[in-house]
Chain A
Amino acid sequence: MKRELTPFFCQELLPAYLEGSLDKERRRAVEEALSKNSDLKFKFQKMKDQLDFLDGLTEVQPNQEVIAFVELPVPSLRDKIRKVSWSKWSATTQWSTQLLVVGVLVMVTVRYIPWLNLARTLQNAKPSAPTLKKEIAIEDNMDVFKPKPVYGPDWPKGFSLARSLCSPGGGEQKEKSSHCRYRS
């Protein structure tokens, strides 16, 4: 058995009916409900009137100039920079700008950097690098050549191992006593 559409449900289906997106059965059901219910028919007629009104507004069109203006691409930041780039400047402007920049730099350097004070400070400055003591012999400055006691605390003062080895009989004296003393 076919069920009839309620007025509320039919009203909800009216936009779809106007759009023509209902299937055959539903469309027939809506049409049936519209023919039976005068209140629904009145509502449908009002909807159609509004659609006619909206249709009338479709003729509103923007001017061609406005369309052309909107279609113009918006210049990006890169384009703006390119417009004022150095290569676009005339030769005269380039030269005068360079001259101006150099002049300003020279003026700033002369005015704000204390050249004279700097020169004086550098002249009076003491060298900070460590220096060798000139009065002492070169060997004394080098710990490597200093004789080191290898035979204990009784090692004679002023004894040089090199001298004792070089002198004749030095080796024999050493053998005679364990406490050998150097005699010049």
Chain B
Amino acid sequence: MAGSADSKLTLNFFYFLLGDEALAVHSAKVALTHFHKKLIVENEVPKDVLLISEMVHTLKKIKRKQKSRKSIEVTLSKKADWIIPQPKMFSQWQEYMKEFDGDSELVLVLRYILKVPVPVIAKALDVPEGTVLFRIGRGLDTMAHYKGKFQ
């Protein structure tokens, strides 16, 4: 059984990076299922690293499917709802994500929205911490030069 914090983290991760509620729920469920299966086998890898790495792996799979124009139809029995205190900010983020969707944005979401520590991100992505910091800098720079401007 997943911890509530893990589920929340996974759901938010996919919601921020995919932008679609139903697809986010579906992806989160897939990622959590794989995470629990791997958790039994791999004892040496820390739990949070394993979860983040599984989330990133699932995201890449979903994006690959989207790129190859395979239709991903997800139907949920219940309506997926998110509590968004500032809808304007969120819509701005979604507009931004339509244009820029790379490694830098992934790292920004993990570090500053989901508050995952840099060493964990580095281990999960299998890159040095310096690379994570570089991607953060590049992502913030891209955001600063975004024509839509964040308010």
Contacts and interface: CB of A to CB of B under 8 A. Distances in A.
Interface of A: 11-12, 14-16, 18-19, 21, 43, 46-47, 49-51, 53-63, 65-67, 69-71, 73-74
A12 B137 contact: yes
Interface of B, helix, strand, loop or mixed by DSSP: helix
Given A65-B81, A71-B4, A56 B89 contact: yes
Contacts of B82: 60-63, 66
Interface residues of B, number: 43
Contacts of B15: 60, 62
Given A53-B89, A67-B7, A15 B2 contact: no
Interface in B78-122: 78, 80-86, 89-90, 93, 108, 112-115, 118
A63 B81 contact: yes
Contacts, number: 112
20 contacts: A19-B118, A19-B133, A21-B129, A43-B141, A47-B144, A50-B140, A56-B89, A57-B86, A58-B112, A58-B115, A59-B86, A60-B84, A62-B8, A62-B81, A63-B83, A65-B81, A67-B4, A69-B80, A70-B2, A71-B7
A76 to B, nearest CB: 10
B40 to A, nearest CB: 13
Nearest to B32: A70
A63 B108 CA distance: 23
Contacts of B90: 57, 60
Contacts of A60: 12, 15-16, 82-85, 90, 113
A169 to B, nearest CB: 104
Interface of B: 1-2, 4, 7-8, 10-12, 15-16, 25, 28-29, 32-33, 76, 78, 80-86, 89-90, 93, 108, 112-115, 118, 129, 133-134, 136-137, 140-141, 143-144, 150
Contacts of A12: 134, 137
Given A15-B137, A51-B140, 18 more contacts: A43-B141, A46-B144, A47-B141, A51-B112, A53-B89, A55-B112, A57-B16, A57-B89, A57-B90, A57-B93, A58-B113, A61-B8, A61-B12, A66-B25, A67-B11, A69-B76, A70-B25, A71-B4
B11 A73 contact: no
Contacts of B76: 69
A74 B86 contact: no
Contacts of A70: 2, 7, 10-11, 25, 28-29, 32
